[in-house]
Chains A and B, each alone.
With several copies, the nearest count.
Chain A
Amino acid sequence: MTNELLNELTFFVLAVFVGIEVISKVPTMLHTPLMSGTNAIHGIILVGALFIAAGANSPVTVILGFLAVVLATTNVVGGFVVTDRMLEMFKGRQAAAKTAETANIK
């Protein structure tokens, strides 16, 4: 096994633990935004797609690269934007609550 693979394996193992522990106490209310947020994070595949597409030098690789870039970019951009829209609602709620409070004070 190469040294590089070993290190990568280690990163993998540690990231598994981080991933599991970070999530372990999330309230039901946030399940959907969290799913959507992690969905955006795996859009990091765009990094891989860029490497492939930038070096494309044959019809096949051009097609593959193009599709990969389109799909990955959709994933990243759409993922973050839709998550933000959802969470805006939650924030809106607190803001709404605040406005209501201010209104009461008047």
Chain B
Amino acid sequence: MTTLYALAYLLAAILFILGLRQLSSPRTARNGNYTAAAGMVIALGATVPQLHFTGAGAVIVLVGVLVGASVGTIGARQVKMTAIPQMVALFNGAGGGAAALVAVSELLTFGSHPPINEALPSVFSIVIGSVSFAGSLVAFAKLQELMTGTPITYPGQQLVNGLIAAAIIGFVIAVLAIASIPFSFLSLMVLALILGVAFVLPIGGADMPVVISLLNAFTGLAVAASGFTLNNFALIVAGTLVGASGSLLTKLMSDAMGRSLRNVLFGAFGQVRTTAGAAAGKEGRSVRTSSIEDLATLLAYSRRVIIVPGYGLAVAQAQHAVRELADLLEKKGVEVDYAIHPVAGRMPGHMNVLLAEANVPYEQLKEMDEINDEFKDADVVLVVGANDVVNPAARTSPGSPIFGMPILNADEAKNIVFLKRSMRPGFAGIDNDLLYDPKTIMLFGDAKDSLTKLVNAVKAA
């Protein structure tokens, strides 16, 4: 019988690996998720017959699963596409919390002098799981705008964080070397929760996807550690897979943004953001605006229009409005394409998902490499709530934080139209000279409003 369970866990691990492989390619990604889910069903199916229920145990398992499944399903189904990162953060935090609680329960059963090979992974799981839990909640709060998205820093912050970490190490030693008593490992948990909060507070809201990915890897490692405590193969392998792949993914994500992971996590310390200063310094320069009607005429009589969607489009939920405008223009014989920058928006693939949701046909979505040579032939580039991804400073100003990042060549088009609310810079906090370009027309206002007005004006044109 145990052999059967072990084989089931092995099968589950194989399915997880195959699922991950499929998830790495667009064509098979959705199947990959099913494959992994099948692995999960098998692992759980092999677990249930191994359980010895107490009366209370049966009740809490039943109720717990029902509650968890409902919360998970409803949360996952209701969430808006733009809010997916914070939803993932919540789910990830839940996993981290569960890992910490499992480890606490295990330590309770071991008595005050557990063997080191059980106690060590347990305290690891408590610390890492709790950091992941608390950190994920802060990430959620930042993204959901329950709190400010700007980095929260204060003098002496690094010292405070250092002290928390030192206290954690002290308690770890206490549990392992002196006595594993509830006071010690509960203190450990509380301190780790505080550390989790302190870790994420100084990181800006826009960097949250990277942080969530890192915490995701943390949870994986905590789960693997629980596997060592429980001597459970499935937990070890699945947790390690997530820990390893999640770490690499975190690196790939910060690479895609043209930044180092170090800079993402600790950039707020000792570095003054230049947002305000840079924006102020250029106040003297003038920009060109235009009436909605003139813009509509320009668009309607163009041969070729390229739309560059960015973070502001997501915020304004303007994807359907932008599609309406594009459809209208196409009916008038204008050739319309969307140029998707790899890190447009606030999470990788953000724009692809949003535009797909708005049913924009696949062929109209062009990756950066594919379309960058075509901007020079475009009559109008319509930049909707994007900024950094078209900032020529990435090519021209070696001092700029985004220098070296490949950008969309919007500046090569005959006309550039920006739909944004103000002259404020984008995520990178640096001014964009393209806004002041003689070829550029600004249309201030919320992206969705502006687009709706444009649609009406084009209809009239």
Contacts and interface: CB of A to CB of B under 8 A. Distances in A.
Contacts, number: 410
* Most chain A beta carbons < 10 A, residue from B17, B29, B33, B227: B33
B234 A22 contact: no
B126 to A, nearest CB: 12
Interface string B216-246: 1001101110111011111111111111111
Given A32-B209, A42-B219, A86-B353, A78 B75 contact: yes
Contacts of A13: 10, 13-14
Contacts of A22: 17, 20-21, 24, 241, 245
Interface in B36-54: 36-37, 39-40, 43-44, 47-48, 50-54
Given A54-B52, A61-B108, A81 B241 contact: no
7 contacts: A1-B7, A32-B348, A41-B220, A45-B102, A48-B223, A55-B54, A85-B84
A26 interface: yes
A2 B352 CA distance: 50
A11 B233 contact: yes
A1 to B, nearest CB: 4
Contacts of B241: 15, 18-19, 22, 38, 41
Interface residues of B, number: 123
A5 B227 CA distance: 11
B162 interface: no
Nearest to B250: A35
Contact of B88 (A36, A66, A87): A36
Interface stretch (B279-287, B358-366, B394-402, B427-435): B358-366
A65 B65 CA distance: 11
A50 B95 contact: no
Interface residues of A, number: 91
Interface of A: 1-2, 4-6, 8-20, 22-57, 60-62, 64-94, 96-97, 100
Interface in B191-229: 209, 212-213, 216, 219-220, 222-224, 226-228
A65 B69 CA distance: 16
A96 B98 contact: no
Interface of B: 3, 6-7, 10, 12-14, 16-17, 19-21, 23-26, 29-30, 32-34, 36-37, 39-40, 43-44, 47-48, 50-54, 56-58, 60-61, 63-65, 67-69, 71-73, 75-77, 79, 81, 84-85, 87-88, 90-92, 94-95, 97-99, 101-102, 104-106, 108, 117, 209, 212-213, 216, 219-220, 222-224, 226-228, 230-249, 252-253, 256, 342-343, 347-350, 352-353, 356-357, 359-363, 365
Contact of A23 (B52, B76, B97, B249): B249
Contact of B91 (A66, A82, A90): A82
Nearest to B362: A97
B81 A69 contact: no
Contact of B240 (A15, A71, A92, A100): A15
B248 A76 contact: no
B231 A69 contact: no
Contact of B61 (A12, A17, A54): A54
A34 B74 CA distance: 21
Given A8-B231, A93-B362, A78 B99 contact: no
Contacts of B224: 12, 15
Nearest to A22: B20
B117 to A, nearest CB: 5
Given A35-B212, A35-B216, A90-B352, A19 B47 contact: no
A30 B363 CA distance: 18
Contact of A30 (B7, B29, B101): B29
Contact of A39 (B26, B57, B95, B343): B95
A26 B242 CA distance: 15
Contact of A38 (B3, B26, B64, B216): B216
A28 B357 CA distance: 18
